[in-house]
């Protein structure tokens, strides 16, 4: 274990922001990685290098700078395809983030797939990004959301999930890892069920992607979405994987430059996917920097280390938080990612997070964009500590120490 911790300490040198101090003078302890992660120097340098040496618009310039920018952008698509084990880079669409990705898919399915009375099967742990886009559809076509319940330990109730698949189920759309609980869903088993029944299957991998490797083919997924900024990459870039031939089937999400073959006053024809879904100037530098964050993660840090070390951190955090009297810990089901949500009757989560902040600890309090889940847990909100491979056991000790003090103060 000592080796893993020493490796994490060395990797922290790659993240300039982690070396700042909180205004109170305390060292900054960043435990809000489910909201967004910090960026390694390699990613920051890629952004700077792009703007200082290669900046040009893509796909439309004949000059060398534009061609070089296009080459890097399309190379980024290949890196993402490999990261997801997609069959082809043509199945990768760049978007702004997970939210835009799910809206793009919902917009397309509304036009070519859903009928009134159709059902969408989700889990009770969905982020609003995988709820509200379907409500927007339901304004035009009355479709019904059916959330499968969780067990009391936060794991998916598998029997109930299977029972909720009906002849009206026209989409299964689940998070691979709950952003509030860290619970991992049985994605491959759900994908196999969906494929057997010919039901399209969408996976929200926003939280899963930074913690575990993805194989979209093993998942039997039709759509997978994630955000660059949670994967040590920039904001403003995300990915939609669309299994072939969904890219052909779905209509464009937005119209404009770069997504057409021909435009006349009375109609236009569209380019092939993925260009068909990337109207206008895309986030070029961000896509290229996302590819760098993937290289950094998979080549410099490595999944073996990430998985072993984050497992250790998760277990360590559970043990330390459980020692705090009166704290209710949610989401103990395994397997789980390095995210812990907790609640004390004595302290409102917002007060808890404010006190933690005074000790230099960045944790999140609120409903975590998962209000239906909070309702199911029967709490108004929780405090959440979410970890990354650059966090240290000593930071968890500081969290536990502050939690003891806060609870002691309020009780
Ligand atoms: N889905 C999950 C599970 C998330 O945790 C988040 C963000 O926290 C989102 C979707 C939305 O991601 P973004 O805000 O990057 O679009």
Task: Point out the ligand 1 atom lying closest to the alpha carbon of residue 101.
Answer: 16
Q: What are the CA-CA distances from residue 210 to residues 136, 216, 221 (Å)?
A: 29, 15, 18
Any bridge partners for residue 93, and if so which? 240
- From the candidate CATH numbers 3.50.50.60, 3.40.190.150, 3.40.50.10490, 3.90.1150.10, the one assigned to the domain spanning 2-30+302-410: 3.90.1150.10
Domains 2-30+302-410 and 44-299 agree in fold: no
**pLDDT in the model for residue 61:** 79
Residues assigned a catalytic role:
369
**Which ligand 1 atom is the nearest neighbour of the CA of 100?**
16
Nearest alpha carbon, ligand 1 atom 5: 179
Per-residue pLDDT of the chain (411 residues; tens, 9 = 90+): 899 999 999 999 999 999 999 999 999 999 999 999 999 999 999 999 999 999 999 998 789 999 999 999 999 999 999 999 999 999 999 999 999 999 999 999 999 999 999 999 999 999 999 999 999 999 999 999 999 999 999 999 999 999 999 999 999 999 999 999 999 999 999 999 999 999 999 999 999 999 999 999 999 999 999 999 999 999 999 999 999 999 999 999 999 999 999 999 999 999 999 999 999 999 999 999 999 999 999 999 999 999 999 999 999 999 999 999 999 999 999 999 999 999 999 999 999 999 999 999 999 999 999 999 999 999 999 999 999 999 999 999 999 999 999 988 887
Q: Which two tokens stand for residue 118?
A: 């159709």
Please give all residues whose beta carbon lies within 6 A of any atom in ligand 1, as ranges: 34, 97-99, 127, 129, 175, 179, 204, 206-207, 227
* Three-class secondary structure of residue 362 per DSSP: strand
Looking at residue 411, its pLDDT comes to 76
CB atoms within 10 A of CB 157: 16
For the chain, the maximum distance between any two Cα atoms, rounded to a whole number of angstroms, is 71
Return the residue matching tokens 């109609």. Answer: 267
Ligand 1 centroid–CA 178 distance in Å is 10
Residue 235 Cα: closest atom of ligand 1: 15
Ligand 1 pocket test, candidate residues 174, 227, 234, 366, most atoms within 8 A of CB:
227
- For residues 136 and 383, what is the distance between their CA atoms, to the nearest angstrom? 29
* Neighbour-count burial for 250-280, b at 16+ CB within 10 Å, e otherwise: bebbeeeebbbeeeeeeeeebbebbbbbbbe
Q: What is the pLDDT of residue 240?
A: 98
- The encoded tokens of residue 340 equal 């812990």
Separation of 34 CA from ligand 1 center, angstroms? Answer: 8
Task: Please give the CATH number for the structural domain made up of 44-299.
Answer: 3.40.640.10
The ligand 1 atom at the shortest distance from the C-alpha of residue 126 is 3
Contact partners, residue 314, CB within 8 Å, separation at least 6: 182, 336, 337, 338, 340, 387
DSSP at 27: B
Instruction: Supply the residue whose CA is at minimum distance from atom 12 of ligand 1.
Output: 98
Ligand 1 atom at minimum distance from 230 CA: 15
The rounded Å distance from CA 229 to ligand 1 centre is 10
Domain boundaries, the chain: 2-30+302-410, 44-299
State the distance from the centre of ligand 1 to the C-alpha of 371, rounded, in angstroms. 14
Q: Determine which helix (DSSP H) or strand (DSSP E) holds 175, and give its type and residue range.
A: strand 169-175
Strand-strand pairing, 29-30 and 92-95: unpaired
Rounded to two decimals, the pTM is 0.98
Give the mutation target among 98, 205, 341, 384 for probing the ligand 1 site: most ligand atoms within 8 A of CB.
Answer: 98
Pocket test of ligand 1: the residue of 102, 179, 238 to mutate, having most ligand atoms within 8 Å of its CB, is 179
SS (H, E, C) 296-348: HHHHHHCHHHHHHHHHHHHHHHHHHHHCCCCEEEECCCCCECCEEEEEECCEC
Ramachandran region, residue 56 (left: φ > 0; alpha: ψ -120 to 50; beta: rest)? beta
């Amino acid at each position: 274990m000592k080796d893993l911790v020493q490796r994490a300490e060395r990797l922290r040198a790659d993240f300039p922001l982690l070396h700042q101090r909180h205004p109170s003078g305390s060292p900054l302890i960043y435990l809000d990685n489910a909201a967004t992660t910090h960026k390694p120097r390699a990613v920051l340098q890629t952004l700077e290098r792009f703007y200082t040496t290669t900046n040009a618009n893509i796909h439309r310039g004949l000059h060398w700078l534009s061609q070089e920018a296009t080459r890097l952008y399309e190379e980024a698509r290949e890196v993402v395809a490999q990261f997801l084990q997609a069959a082809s880079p043509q199945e990768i669409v760049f978007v702004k983030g997970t939210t835009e990705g799910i809206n793009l898919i919902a917009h397309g399915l509304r036009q070519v797939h859903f009928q009134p009375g159709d059902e969408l099967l989700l889990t009770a742990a969905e982020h609003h990004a995988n709820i509200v886009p379907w409500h927007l559809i339901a304004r035009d076509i009355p479709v019904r959301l059916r959330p499968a319940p969780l067990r009391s330990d936060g794991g998916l109730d598998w029997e109930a999930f299977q029972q909720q698949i009906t002849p009206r189920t026209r989409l299964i759309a689940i998070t691979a890892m709950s952003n509030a609980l860290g619970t991992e869903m049985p994605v491959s088993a759900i994908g196999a069920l969906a494929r057997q029944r010919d039901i399209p299957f969408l996976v929200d991998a926003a939280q899963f992607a930074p913690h575990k490797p993805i194989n979209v083919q093993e998942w039997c997924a039709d759509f997978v979405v994630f955000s660059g900024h949670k994967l040590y990459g920039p904001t403003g870039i995300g990915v939609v994987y669309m299994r072939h031939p969904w890219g052909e089937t779905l209509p464009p999400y937005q119209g404009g430059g770069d997504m057409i073959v021909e435009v006349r006053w009375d109609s236009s024809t569209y380019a092939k996917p993925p260009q068909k879904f990337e109207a206008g100037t895309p986030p070029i530098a961000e896509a290229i920097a996302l590819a760098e964050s993937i290289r950094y993660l998979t080549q410099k840090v490595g999944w073996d280390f990430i998985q072993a070390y984050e497992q250790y951190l998760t277990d360590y955090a559970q043990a330390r938080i459980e020692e705090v009297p009166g704290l209710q810990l949610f989401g103990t089901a395994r397997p789980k990612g390095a995210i812990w949500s907790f609640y004390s009757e004595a302290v409102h989560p917002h007060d808890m997070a404010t006190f933690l902040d005074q000790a230099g600890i960045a944790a999140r309090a609120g409903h975590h964009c998962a209000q239906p889940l909070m309702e199911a847990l029967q709490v108004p909100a929780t405090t959440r500590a979410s970890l990354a491979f650059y966090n240290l056991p000593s930071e968890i000790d500081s969290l536990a120490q502050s939690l003891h003090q806060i609870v002691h103060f309020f009780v």
